[in-house]
A and B are shown apart, each in its own frame.
Chain A
């Protein structure tokens, strides 16, 4: 049972407060969406959680252990896995080797052979099993994204952060990723998903966090958040029932003018 406590976390980049006193809790296998306009500090927040950046202020506890002071690899071993906005497969390693890295890192005394079966299953689940012996660089962009998700399954964390899992993905692959999230969530893993794809994130998540200018401005069920005046303000700077859809309209008007 995952417990994550983010207490008053801030990150200061030489004067720019990228993340501004953010606090939230996660209890159990929740499925959380994290949205916000560009530059709201979403990626910085994930970097703080995964230890790639150290907060200037505040603490992060996971399952009672303070993790904001740990190096990234220890955070990963403590049970927090993540993907990156731009896919970062190990390009000159085979798919199988890509999958073995996290499994071996998690089990310091295990042998490689123990995980090959599991890797095969994971690859099958993600429909890339026919590529196991190919170098990752030979995979398409979407397949590399699947490979990243596969690595997370091998790492087997309790809490998974996905940074833009649906960006630039073929609809067919999107289905697979969607199914992956639902299935894995059912197995008791919590998710924090950053996405610009509002439709998907609204149907997928049970809870939404909204960030703007480094601050967490809303936290609640999607329906509630949708009508939160602060959220509408952040997205549009004006009143509207559905902040995300009219954005395109506004753009069109600007072009027309």
Chain B
């Protein structure tokens, strides 16, 4: 099926005027002696949203860049895209069925909360150690694998939450050991090029963990049944208009349907999120971690051991990824390389949210979850929709790096 060209022309139009806006606007602001900070981004958004007319007005008035303008123009751009999409493919479920969209978005948010949890781990590592762990997805993979072996092979009748706990402990320990053996030398000055070393050694760890797992457990997909069967509930009891729960599914308002395995996973993610917030803001160790992330030297002076905080941060980050994997092993089938796309997703999320920003990571996770769900549900050719799944996030990553490398909530570089 050929997709009508109107959609592509719209995209070209948006890109063209967006690029013109991004390239010219900073010069105009500079010429008028105004702050050029973020004007490239504003120019791109205005160009995409309102075309040449908007750009001329922008260059004429050169208003200060505010979040309000960015949000407004961003939304208008999205609106154009949706309209063009609706015009191009009027029979698409995404255009005709509101409940389908609602379900996709709800499921996107559910999965997104897990992505967010995982990215939270990566951003925690970045904010303390200043590195990006390229092996983050492998912790996620191992979390799922450990849960599978613990609850399905070794102790078949055990409470699955115990499996999650074991996965958490395992990935925590693994993270700590790796940090002590391979990352500690970076801060003690034994490594000549710490920045490059961190990239390569975590990359090596990813490779090592993937093939060790492959050798030990084989390539056949592992499947864990959903952790909990939900009781049958209907609200109100006669029609079930508000909520209908079956062992495998939840339906809200008769329209939004969420599989219960995913719902359980989201609950685990939310519980972890609150535990993490409590830990970081209410306990001494958590406060020490945040102190180190803001100013290493100052923290060291107040009696915090930054080296120990490094180990703790890397182990905690790995553990968050491990728990994410443990929570999702009941949703997806598990192979030794599930970590690769998971890593990529975490990269997208932390760049989108802003490197080192904790709220940014979680919100970025939700955004990516929704984008992927809509992409998978709305792209007309289902084969292609699935095949392009890894690309949606990557396109976000490229756009963010080019337009605003600090992300949504990032500190200035």
Q: Give A contacts to B, CB under 8 Å.
A: 12, 14, 54, 56-57
B207 at the interface (CB under 8 A from A): no
Q: Report the nearest B residue to A58, measured CB to CB.
A: B33
Report yes or no: B33 in contact with A57, Cβ–Cβ below 8 A: yes
How many chain B residues touch A (Cβ–Cβ < 8 Å)? 4
Q: Which residues from chain A contact B30 at a C-beta distance below 8 Å?
A: 54, 56
Q: How far is the CA of A12 from the CA of B29 in the complex (A)?
A: 13
Q: How far is the CA of A12 from the CA of B30 in the complex (A)?
A: 11
Q: Report the nearest A residue to B412, measured CB to CB.
A: A14
B287 at the interface (CB under 8 A from A): no
Please, could you name 7 A-B residue pairs with CB atoms under 8 Å apart, sorted by A?
A12-B35, A14-B35, A14-B37, A54-B30, A56-B30, A56-B33, A57-B33
Q: How far is the CA of A54 from the CA of B35 in the complex (A)?
A: 12
**Nearest CB on A from B246, distance (A):** 55
Q: Report the nearest A residue to B37, measured CB to CB.
A: A14
- 7 closest A-B pairs by beta carbon, nearest first, are A57-B33, A14-B37, A56-B33, A14-B35, A12-B35, A56-B30, A54-B30
Q: Report the nearest B residue to A12, measured CB to CB.
A: B35
Q: How far is the CA of A57 from the CA of B35 in the complex (A)?
A: 11
**Nearest CB on B from A77, distance (A):** 24
Q: How far is the CA of A14 from the CA of B33 in the complex (A)?
A: 12
**Nearest CB on A from B67, distance (A):** 15
Q: How far is the CA of A56 from the CA of B33 in the complex (A)?
A: 6
**Nearest CB on B from A36, distance (A):** 25
**Nearest CB on B from A215, distance (A):** 18
Q: How far is the CA of A12 from the CA of B37 in the complex (A)?
A: 11
Q: How far is the CA of A53 from the CA of B356 in the complex (A)?
A: 26
Q: How far is the CA of A14 from the CA of B30 in the complex (A)?
A: 13
Q: Which residues from chain A contact B37 at a C-beta distance below 8 Å?
A: 14
**Nearest CB on B from A178, distance (A):** 33
Q: How far is the CA of A14 from the CA of B37 in the complex (A)?
A: 8
Q: Report the nearest B residue to A15, measured CB to CB.
A: B35
**Nearest CB on A from B29, distance (A):** 10
**Nearest CB on A from B324, distance (A):** 37
**Nearest CB on B from A182, distance (A):** 38
**Nearest CB on A from B309, distance (A):** 26
Interface 1/0 per residue, B24-40 and A, CB below 8 Å: 00000010010101000
Q: Which residues from chain B contact A54 at a C-beta distance below 8 Å?
A: 30
**Nearest CB on A from B28, distance (A):** 14
Q: How far is the CA of A170 from the CA of B37 in the complex (A)?
A: 42
Interface 1/0 per residue, B13-53 and A, CB below 8 Å: 00000000000000000100101010000000000000000
**Nearest CB on A from B176, distance (A):** 32
Q: Which residues from chain B contact A57 at a C-beta distance below 8 Å?
A: 33
**Nearest CB on B from A72, distance (A):** 17
Within 8 A of A (CB), among B148-197: none
Q: Report the nearest B residue to A14, measured CB to CB.
A: B37
Q: Which residues from chain A contact B33 at a C-beta distance below 8 Å?
A: 56-57
**Nearest CB on A from B34, distance (A):** 9
Q: How far is the CA of A57 from the CA of B37 in the complex (A)?
A: 15
Q: How far is the CA of A57 from the CA of B36 in the complex (A)?
A: 13
**Nearest CB on A from B163, distance (A):** 48
Q: Which residues from chain B contact A12 at a C-beta distance below 8 Å?
A: 35
**Nearest CB on A from B41, distance (A):** 15
